[in-house]
Amino acid sequence: MIYIFPKKFAFSHSITTVFRYNIKIDNYSNTKSNTDLNTDLNTDLNTDLNTDLNTDLNTDLNTDPNTDLNTDLNIDP
């Protein structure tokens, strides 16, 4: 990551303003940011969406209508 900080120098004997820049290079934060973002987003989104939707919908819909309708209709008459 490269940070650029402006510094302003004014001279009392003239109206001219000079801008200088400090450049800070930070390789550690750039590497750390990329690793954290890729790992967290991919793992959480894929695991939660695939597991919850497939398991809940298939189990509830298939089990409840078949068991209730067949048992009630055959025993009552």
Query: Each residue of 10-27: pLDDT tens digit?
Result: 555 444 445 555 666 555
What pLDDT, on a 0 to 100 scale, did the predictor assign at position 24? 62
Rounded to two decimals, the pTM is 0.13
- Confidence category of residue 59, pLDDT binned at 50, 70, 90: very low
Share of the chain above pLDDT 90, in %: 0
The HSE-up count of residue 40 (CA atoms within 13 Å, CB side) is 6
pLDDT band at 50 (very low <50, low <70, confident <90, very high): very low
Query: Helix (H, G, I), strand (E, B), or coil: what is residue 24?
Result: strand
Nearest 5°: the CA angle 42, 49, 61 is 165
Q: Give percent of the chain with pLDDT exceeding 70.
A: 0
Residue 57 confidence (pLDDT) = 47
